[in-house]
Amino acid sequence: MSDHHPTGFTRWLYTTNHKDIGSMYLWFSFIMFLIGGAMAMVIRAELYQPGLQFVDPNFFNQMTTMHGLIMVFGAVMPSMVGLANWLIPMMIGAPDMALPRMNNWSFWILPFAFTLLLSSLFMEGGAPNFGWTFYAPLSTTFGPPSTDFFILGVHMMGISSIMGAINVIVTVFNMRAPGMTLMKMPLFVWTWLITAFLLIMVMPVLAGTVTMMLTDRHFGTSFFDAAGGGDPVMFQHIFWFFGHPEVYIMILPAFGVVSEIIPTFSRKKLFGYSSMVYATASIALLSFIVWAHHMFAVGMPVAGELFFMIATMLIAVPTGVKVFNWVATMWQGALTFETPMLFSIAFVILFTIGGFSGVMLAMAPVDFQYHDTYFVVAHFHYVLFPGAIFGTTAAVYYWLPKWAGKMYNETAGKIHFWLSMIFVNLTFFPMHFSGLAGMPRRIPDYNMMFADFNMWASIGAFGLGLTQVYFLVIVLLTLKNGKTAEQKQWEGASGLEWDAMPSPAPYHTFSTPPKID
Amino acid sequence: MAIRRKLIAGIASLLSIVLSGVVQAATDMNMRPGVTETSNAAYDLHMMVIWVMVAISVVVFGAMIYSFIFHRKSKNYKPATFHHSTKVEMIWTAIPIIILIYLTIPAVKLLIKMEDASNSEMSIQVTGSQWKWHYKYLEHDVEFFSELDRSLTITDENYLLEVDNALVVPVETKVRFLVTASDVIHSWWVPDLAVKKDAIPGFINETWTAIPADQAGKTFRGQCTELCGKDHGFMPVVVKVLSKEDFKAWVAQKDQERLAAEKAAAEAAAQSWDMDKLMAMGKEVYDSKCAQCHQASGLGIPPAFPALKGSPIALGPVDAHINIVVNGKSGTGMAAYGPQLTDAELAAVITYERNAWENNTGDKVQPADIQAFKAGN
Amino acid sequence: MSTETEEKYENYYVPEQSPWPIVGAVALFFIAWGGGNFIHQSTEIVETGDQSWGGLVFLAALAVMIYMVFRWWKDTIKESVEGLYSAQMDRSFKQGMLWFIMSEVMFFAAFFGALLYVRQLVIPWLGGEGNNAMTHALLHPDFLPQWPLTKTPDGTTTQAMGAWGLPAINTAILLTSSWTLTIAHHALKDNNRQALLNYTSITALLGIIFLALQVLEYHHAYNEMGLTLGSGIYGSTFFLLTGFHGFHVTIGTIFLIVLSIRCAKGHFTEKHHFAYEAGAWYWHFVDVVWLFLFIFVYLM
Ligand code: HEA
Ligand code: HEA
Ligand code: CUA
Ligand SMILES: [Cu+2]
């Protein structure tokens, strides 16, 4: 195959090329990140001071809901799929993803799904306003008309994710270059393989949940209605059976990313490769039996609460193994602190803090005090922003030279990092305090006693938002007039993508498989 | 070597000082210990976990920071080549397990205790609805609604945390709460009692509290903690604690009030009201009970909350109008106001709706009409 | 690894550009958009007079989608017939199909999970079991916990669907179809063209009969037994489980019809017949789901 690019807009519409599709995923997710972030700005502006200043409570709820949905399904998940598309074939020595046409379809469904979801903002009755967890019956009998478009939008995202996951699994199982045994694969590939498995197991369950919602809303069924013999709590069980593995879907690929970056800048091999693989698999398996830790207050039988509490706490063990392995990788390495490394280090520290608050939440008797307060909001932003988002950001800085053949400006990257680091903590750390002081989540107005924390969080949030716009500028400037990158931009890097191809990576790589020993 | 050790010690103590400072210095940043045995136990557990987490942080982040300082390339540090050690990995799998067991044991004990509502001395049914609480004392003939007091402003200490009728409970009594909801899920939370239970429509969840004697006279405040629609943030929970005698007196007084109210209602129903009086009272009821959904302008927030201005029900037959207000409409936010308002109030608010905002039907609905409707119901 | 894989590896066919995915994405969008509006119009959520364009958009988009699938598969069939597909590619398709079926399994698992949760927990709870004594005493004092739930807490009644009429016949039909399909599959491997065609067609026919009986059963349920989607949780789980199964049988039957046509055209060889295998797996999957349905929905 020659290295010719198709041109024009059909290059993007009709493409079967994993690199093009990867780029589209990444750009799409960044746009969604800005939109979801802009909604967070609305939330934070309203919460800057007590009193209702900018929006009415119903619109506030719509913002919360759409912010959560867009960040989770529009920003984080597609960004991870984008990375998978770009990197997996290059890392395992494959010419492309296993099912390239389907790959294109997986991507192109997304912009349409989110058009549908976002259009609900302009519908009569407004956008979904029942939280990203859309608990019944608030979302069924009491949901606005746009709920149905939300449901269908979720179906579309689900189809896209499932196809994407199938593609990843098949590529990894069937397309590895000769000699690339499973236990030689870069850890990023491993984490994505396991993520894809989680996706296939839980996205259909989400589809089932929203289907039951749809029939409850319009066809007279009573899945979530006690009057007909159903149970609103059953909604939560089915939702969280999806929802909890979903949070690991968002974090496992980021684990993979930092597991590539930390060894590079430590100039030392990853510590405990095989235990990393097993730990990731354990996290994934455990994630299926912990879902009800989101539901300690719903009145489950005590035996259930005990089971879910203990199973949840167990997840700290394999996650700890990963954290310790990263630390051991840095230990006695020859460290340098380029931007990707800085983001990875911040990832390890801040994710761990988020994990600690997770363990606190897992303790059922105390969770009665934390549940549905800003303490939970603090927890999940710590694992999501400095977790998933920092992970992706690190990946972009790390592989941008390979993708684009251009090197970003290191000073600009470092400024981006330090601003992000400061503002992310300023935004989300005070939320621990407002939560402990008793501030419930999803409220547009609050008592004076929470005012200070909220003010700091809002100031941090505006700074964080602007910082991310700055990131966009950095990337655009790099693409426009960055310095030419070397084939192996990072001294300590290893792996096929650095060793076996120039920068930028040619349009088609590994048309003939590389030799691996 | 000596420098290193000092540095480790230095970093470790610095970290712990900062962290413990953060945790302890400002108590208003921390969870409130609350006033009951269980809330105190929850607080203790919370502090215990925090300290465990601080300790783990010191070790893990300390090791990282040590690496950052000493194992950097700019200091010409030569990277080691190790990348595996079964022994070390076993250790750092085992230690977290031990820590977790250490945390789990008290948690299990406390949880079992908190979930045991048996042997209670008193039961109160707590029903959440959009957006108020209803309290019903099962052993006494007392029940009432509890709604946000909207007269407070931001500067008031209890802004958003004050209600018209607070729940009243006696000290030194194991009070069982039977928590449920009539429309969507709500959650009843009083931080100082460490009681949080979701209110699920169609099911009853049990929880309990027992407040020590020295808390008599105090008031505890919390909020609804499950997103329940537009006014989720405006649905506070207020609990007043009385000594046992005061509580008895309170119940007696409530009985009196109820009898008096019934009498007044009967009297009101017996007379015929003129338009002005109906409209005045109707507006008052409407603005306090109905306007949050149907809006003071009568325009509602369609499609969730229909406009009453020009609504076919408000302009159509009176009976249909009385019906929806008295009986509500299940599966929507429109609650049954029959049990919540007196006949006179119902008559007034319906009259108001039929004549305000250019509805101008001229209909006067009398309390007697409501009585007749209820009788035929 | 062996040199054999290496050799095949070089043949991995990466298709050039294709317009079908984007057509499919647009079609999916309009299916959702039209379908959503159709639901609103037909349940009068949004007052739009007697417009029914939602349904029209839905149908048009569905047609485009079917066209798209048809063209996409035509491309793959063409490539397959041209011999562009190596054994490695076949493996990709096979693995892809298996994981797709896995996702379908999980979709059904959600509904089976709901069924079991309701039967084992919710109904007893409403009847006062476990920590729900007060639920029963205060909210549903007259409720009788039982399964099938023929009377709901709000008093809706229905009859339960027995197992030994149509459902048993349908079970027999599907089991037979699995058997005929296996014979066909073996015939394919033995290169027995006539048997292949015959047994594949018989299997498709059995699928059609199954569907016809299912329609009959629904008709009976709605018109004679008062068993509808609105009959409380029993009706909900009954119709959603059997309904989605029926939907899958429909897809499977269409799949089988297409396979029969392709058999007649001689598309498959003993070695290269991924599409046939995929169809067969799909059919067996649908069969197994039915067995679970028969046990948990009808029998128990
Ligand atoms: C990327 C996403 C992500 C990740 C990785 C996690 C990780 C974890 N989460 Fe979190 N969580 C969310 C996203 C995530 N969560 C979201 C979005 C919500 C809210 C949903 C909503 O309601 O909207 C939520 C809510 C949530 C709750 C419900 C709270 C409530 O509503 O009341 C609970 C309760 O158990 C919980 C627990 C945990 C635990 C135990 C982990 C563990 O995996 C953490 C493990 C990691 C560590 C523990 C740190 C490293 C370990 C060591 C250094 C070893 C030593 C440590 C010990 C021995 C303790 N999470
Ligand atoms: C990965 C997921 C993710 C990410 C990255 C974020 C990022 C942020 N989140 Fe969010 N959040 C969630 C996932 C996430 N969140 C979830 C799941 C919920 C729960 C929802 C629910 O309760 O249902 C939630 C809820 C939530 C709340 C609680 C709302 C409530 O309970 O009512 C708050 C409050 O402060 C908040 C704030 C923020 C802020 C300030 C950011 C910032 O980091 C954002 C940074 C800002 C930007 C990146 C935007 C930059 C853009 C501009 C400045 C303008 C330019 C715009 C355009 C050109 C369009 N989030
Ligand atoms: Cu009631 Cu929130
Ligand atoms: Cu979880």
Rounded CA Rg of chain C: 24
Q: Residue C126: its chain B contacts at CB < 8 A?
A: 202-203
- DSSP label at residue C144: -
**B303 at interface of C, judged by CB pairs closer than 8 A:** yes
Q: Are residues C201 and C285 in the same domain?
A: yes
Last residue of a domain, one of B255, B279, B304: B255
CA distance A403 to A381: 29
Q: Are residues B243 and B291 in the same domain?
A: no
When scoring A172, A231, A516 by the number of chain C Cβ atoms within 10 A, the one with the most, hence best to mutate, is A231
- What is the total count of domains within chain B? 3
Q: Is cis: bond before A253, omega within 30 of 0? A: no
Average pLDDT in chain B = 88
Q: Are residues C55 and C112 in the same domain?
A: no
Q: Which residues contact A194 (CB under 8 A, 6 or more apart)?
A: A252, A280, A281, A284
> Smallest Cα–Cα separation from A457: which of A470, A472, A469, A441?
A441
* Nearest Cα residue in chain A from C46: A145
For tokens 């510590």, what's the residue?
Answer: A271
Q: Shortest Cα distance from C198 to chain A (angstroms)? A: 32
Q: Are residues B226 and B159 in the same domain?
A: yes
Name the maximum alpha-carbon separation found in chain B. Answer: 98
> Smallest Cα–Cα separation from C179: which of C199, C208, C198, C201?
C199
Q: Are residues C122 and C184 in the same domain?
A: yes
* DSSP-based three-state secondary structure for A363: coil
Residue-wise pLDDT tens digits, A329-342? 999 999 999 999 99
Q: Are residues C197 and C257 in the same domain?
A: yes
Q: Are residues B240 and B293 in the same domain?
A: no
Cβ burial, residue B25 (10 Å; 0-12/13-18/19+): exposed
Whether residues B64 and A135 touch (CB distance < 8 A) is answered with: no
Query: CA torsion A467→A468→A470→A476, rounded to 10°?
Result: 170
Q: Are residues B317 and B365 in the same domain?
A: yes
* Nearest Cα residue in chain C from A198: C103
Q: Are residues B109 and B154 in the same domain?
A: no
Q: Is B331 a residue whose pLDDT tops 80?
A: no
Split at pLDDT 50, 70, 90, the class of C5 is very low
User: C15 and A508 in contact (C-beta within 8 Å)?
Assistant: no
| pTM of the predicted protein model | 0.93
Q: Is A343 a residue whose pLDDT tops 90?
A: yes
Cβ burial, residue C61 (10 Å; 0-12/13-18/19+): buried
pLDDT at B269: 75
Q: Are residues C60 and C140 in the same domain?
A: no
Q: Is C45 a residue whose pLDDT tops 70?
A: no
Cα distances from B178 to residues A327, B134, B135, in angstroms, run 50, 11, 10
**B204 at interface of C, judged by CB pairs closer than 8 A:** yes
Q: Are residues C182 and C68 in the same domain?
A: no
Average pLDDT in chain C = 89
Atom number of ligand 3 nearest to Cα B199: 1
Q: Which residue type, as a one-letter code, is found at position A293? A: H
Residue-wise pLDDT tens digits, A80-114? 999 999 999 999 999 999 999 999 999 999 999 99
State the average pLDDT over residues C142-169: 89
Residues 253-312 of A with CB under 8 A from B: 266-275, 297-299, 302, 305-306, 309-310
**B159 at interface of C, judged by CB pairs closer than 8 A:** no
Q: Are residues C129 and C18 in the same domain?
A: no
Q: Is the CB of A44 under 6 A from ligand 2?
A: yes
Atom number of ligand 1 nearest to Cα A250: 1
User: C161 and C298 in contact (C-beta within 8 Å)?
Assistant: yes
Q: Which residues contact C271 (CB under 8 A, 6 or more apart)?
A: none
Split at pLDDT 50, 70, 90, the class of C84 is confident
CA angle A65-A66-A68, nearest 5°?
A: 70
Q: Is the CB of B232 under 6 A from ligand 3?
A: yes
Q: Residue C2: its chain A contacts at CB < 8 A?
A: 178
* DSSP-based three-state secondary structure for A361: helix
More confident residue, A229 or B304: A229
Atom number of ligand 1 nearest to Cα A251: 1
Q: Are residues C176 and C43 in the same domain?
A: no
Which amino acids bring their CB within 6 angstroms of ligand 1?
A 133, 247, 250-251, 293-294, 312, 315-316, 319-320, 323, 352, 355-356, 358-359, 361-362, 367, 370-371, 376, 379-380, 383-384, 387-388; B 56, 60, 96, 99-100
Whether residues C114 and A234 touch (CB distance < 8 A) is answered with: yes
* Nearest Cα residue in chain A from C227: A221
CA of B226 to the centre of ligand 3 (A): 5
CA distance B133 to B126: 7
Q: Are residues B200 and B291 in the same domain?
A: no
Q: Are residues B228 and B292 in the same domain?
A: no
Q: Is the CB of A134 under 6 A from ligand 2?
A: no
CATH of the domain at B283: 1.10.760.10
CA distance B60 to B15: 11
CA distance B203 to C129: 12
Active site residue A291: no
pLDDT at C48: 54
Count, in order, helices (H) and strands (E) of chain A.
18, 2
pLDDT at C3: 39
Question: How many residue contacts between A and C have a Cβ separation below 8 Å?
Answer: 235
B260 in a domain, yes or no? Answer: no
* DSSP-based three-state secondary structure for B176: strand
Whether residues C139 and B178 touch (CB distance < 8 A) is answered with: no
Q: Are residues B228 and B138 in the same domain?
A: yes
> Smallest Cα–Cα separation from B313: which of B305, B304, B322?
B322
Q: Are residues C137 and C284 in the same domain?
A: yes
Q: Where would I find the H helices in A70-186?
A: 77-92, 100-119, 147-174
Residue-wise pLDDT tens digits, A38-48? 999 999 999 99
CA distance A22 to A401: 15
Print the domain residue range for B71: 31-75+82-115
Last residue of a domain, one of C85, C100, C120: C85
Last residue of a domain, one of B229, B255, B281: B255
Rounded CA Rg of chain A: 22
Average pLDDT in chain A = 94
Active site residue A259: yes
CATH of the domain at C9: 1.10.287.70
Q: Are residues C260 and C290 in the same domain?
A: yes
Q: Is A150 a residue whose pLDDT tops 50?
A: yes
Encoding tokens for residue C253? 């039957």
B134 in a domain, yes or no? Answer: yes
- DSSP label at residue A24: H
CATH of the domain at B38: 1.10.287.90
B160 in a domain, yes or no? Answer: yes
Q: Are residues B248 and B277 in the same domain?
A: no
* Nearest Cα residue in chain B from A135: B185
Q: B174 pairs with which residues across the strands?
A: B210
Residue-wise pLDDT tens digits, B180-212? 999 999 999 999 999 999 999 999 999 999 999
Task: Give the ipTM of the model, two decimals please.
Answer: 0.92
Q: Which chains touch A (3 or more CB pairs under 8 A)?
A: B, C
B263 in a domain, yes or no? Answer: no
Q: Are residues B335 and B237 in the same domain?
A: no
Q: Shortest Cα distance from A54 to chain C (angstroms)? A: 29
More confident residue, B171 or A517: B171
Split at pLDDT 50, 70, 90, the class of C7 is very low
* Nearest Cα residue in chain B from C127: B203
pLDDT at B25: 46
CA distance B359 to B355: 5
CA distance A70 to A35: 8
Last residue of a domain, one of C85, C115, C150: C85
State the average pLDDT over residues C22-31: 95
- DSSP label at residue B124: E
B23 in a domain, yes or no? Answer: no
Last residue of a domain, one of B205, B227, B255: B255
CATH of the domain at C257: 1.20.120.80
**Helix %, strand %, coil % of chain C (to 5):** 75, 0, 25
Q: Are residues C95 and C74 in the same domain?
A: no
pLDDT at C49: 56
Active site residue A352: no
Q: Is cis: bond before C148, omega within 30 of 0? A: yes
Candidate from A495-499, B269-273, B277-281, C56-60 with smallest mean pLDDT: B269-273
Active site residue A161: yes
Print the domain residue range for C167: 89-299
pLDDT at C206: 96
CA of A374 to the centre of ligand 2 (A): 13
Q: Is B66 a residue whose pLDDT tops 80?
A: yes
State the average pLDDT over residues B27-47: 90
* DSSP-based three-state secondary structure for B168: strand
Residue-wise pLDDT tens digits, A392-441? 999 999 999 999 999 999 999 999 999 999 999 999 999 999 999 999 99
B360 in a domain, yes or no? Answer: yes
Q: Are residues B277 and B336 in the same domain?
A: yes
B265 in a domain, yes or no? Answer: no
State the average pLDDT over residues A492-497: 91
Q: Which chains touch C (3 or more CB pairs under 8 A)?
A: A, B
Q: Is A11 a residue whose pLDDT tops 90?
A: no
CATH of the domain at B224: 2.60.40.420
Last residue of a domain, one of C85, C107, C139: C85
More confident residue, B293 or B237: B237
B216 in a domain, yes or no? Answer: yes
CA distance B196 to B198: 7
Q: Is cis: bond before B131, omega within 30 of 0? A: yes
- What is the total count of domains within chain C? 2
**Residue A33's CB: how many other CB atoms inside 10 A?**
22
Q: Is A1 a residue whose pLDDT tops 50?
A: no
Q: Which ligand is nearest to the CA of A286?
A: 1
The percent of residues above 90 in pLDDT, for chain C, comes to 63
Active site residue A5: no
Q: Is C6 a residue whose pLDDT tops 50?
A: no
State the average pLDDT over residues A435-448: 95
* DSSP-based three-state secondary structure for B6: helix
Q: Are residues C295 and C147 in the same domain?
A: yes
More confident residue, A512 or B59: B59
Q: Are residues B53 and B136 in the same domain?
A: no
How remote is the C-alpha of B65 from its chain's centroid? 43
Angle formed by the axes of helices A18-47 and A390-404, nearest 10°: 150
Count, in order, helices (H) and strands (E) of chain C.
10, 0
Residue-wise pLDDT tens digits, A63-73? 999 999 999 99
**Residue B64's CB: how many other CB atoms inside 10 A?**
19
What residues are neighbours of ligand 4 (ion), with CB under 5 Å? A 244
Candidates C72, C113, C229; nearest CB to A215: C229
Whether residues C99 and A166 touch (CB distance < 8 A) is answered with: yes
Q: Is the CB of A461 under 6 A from ligand 2?
A: yes
Residue-wise pLDDT tens digits, C243-274? 999 999 999 999 999 999 988 888 888 777 88
**Residue A258's CB: how many other CB atoms inside 10 A?**
30
Q: Which ligand is nearest to the CA of A383?
A: 1
